[in-house]
């Protein structure tokens, strides 16, 4: 049975496209935001801070060419958290701009799958699986160039044990796992975060205009 919820704005049941969706349409989202809006300047500053933090994480990935193993995992962990935070903020506060940029992308399925897969990593690391279990460090050979953290790859993972979750939570987590396998496994860290950051920078560039 498809997962259905009651729209927080207009009331009817709808089938959510995203795991945290509470509203059935863009019209309801606009109406809900108008009724529940806080301090727009504070929200804008929070989004600006989140984007700046994400860019700092991306810069660290590019700069750290020969880090220690623990340091590299820390950098990747920070990038996962910051990218997913910016993604969630844009979906909540600038949904129209987010969807406009997504609709214009020729890689929509890959981009959406990347964010869903990163949410799986975020939810699992530190609680059920060590981040090291997700990552395959670059194998160095004599005379080979060193690509640093961005050349490391995501591992393919066995299907998680989700029996402790309720049916709805089990379904969403399995969706995240499959996206992780489809879009992250085998790809380099650099490829994944380049795709995610490029989209988020476009979506956050001028949300009001979009």
Q: What is the pLDDT of residue 64?
A: 57
Mean of the per-residue pLDDT values for the chain?
79
Across the strands, what pairs with 153? 136, 188
d(Cα 203, Cα 28) in Å, to the nearest integer? 20
For the ranges 19-33, 157-171, 177-191, the lowest mean pLDDT is seen at 19-33
pLDDT at 141 over 50: no
Contact (Cβ atoms closer than 8 angstroms) between residue 54 and residue 82: yes
Q: What is the pLDDT of residue 119?
A: 92
Contact (Cβ atoms closer than 8 angstroms) between residue 16 and residue 3: yes
Which range of 36-40, 81-85, 175-179 scores highest in mean pLDDT? It is: 175-179
Q: What is the pLDDT of residue 161?
A: 85
Q: Which residue has the higher pLDDT, 33 or 101?
A: 101
- Here the tokens at position 109 are 């399925």
Q: What is the pLDDT of residue 185?
A: 96
3-state secondary structure of 100: helix
Q: Where are the beta strands (DSSP E) in 103-150?
A: 135-136
* pTM of the predicted protein model: 0.74
Q: What is the pLDDT of residue 114?
A: 95
pLDDT per position as a tens digit, 76-121: 888 898 889 889 888 877 878 888 899 999 999 999 999 999 999 9
Q: Dmax of the chain from CA atoms?
A: 64
pLDDT per position as a tens digit, 59-71: 777 665 555 778 8
DSSP state for residue 150 in the 8-state scheme: G
């Amino acid at each position: 049975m498809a997962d259905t919820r009651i729209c927080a704005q207009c009331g009817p049941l709808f089938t959510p496209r995203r795991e945290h969706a509470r509203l059935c349409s863009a019209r309801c989202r606009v109406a809900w935001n108008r009724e529940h809006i806080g301090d727009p300047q504070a929200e804008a500053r929070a989004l600006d801070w989140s984007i700046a933090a994400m860019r700092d994480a991306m810069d660290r990935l590019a700069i750290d060419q020969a880090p220690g193993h623990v340091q590299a995992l820390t950098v990747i962990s920070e990038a996962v958290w910051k990218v997913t935070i910016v993604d969630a903020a844009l979906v909540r506060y600038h949904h129209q701009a987010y969807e406009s940029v997504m609709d214009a992308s020729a890689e929509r399925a890959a981009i959406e799958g990347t964010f869903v897969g990163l949410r799986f990593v975020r939810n699992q690391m530190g609680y059920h699986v060590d981040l090291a279990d997700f990552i395959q460090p670059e194998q160095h050979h004599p005379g080979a160039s060193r690509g640093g953290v961005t050349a490391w790859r995501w591992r393919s993972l066995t299907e998680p044990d989700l029996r402790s979750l309720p049916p709805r939570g089990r379904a969403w987590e399995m969706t995240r796992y499959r996206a992780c396998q489809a879009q992250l496994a085998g790809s380099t860290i650099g490829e994944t975060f380049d795709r995610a950051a490029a989209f988020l920078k476009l979506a956050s560039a001028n949300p009001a205009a979009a």
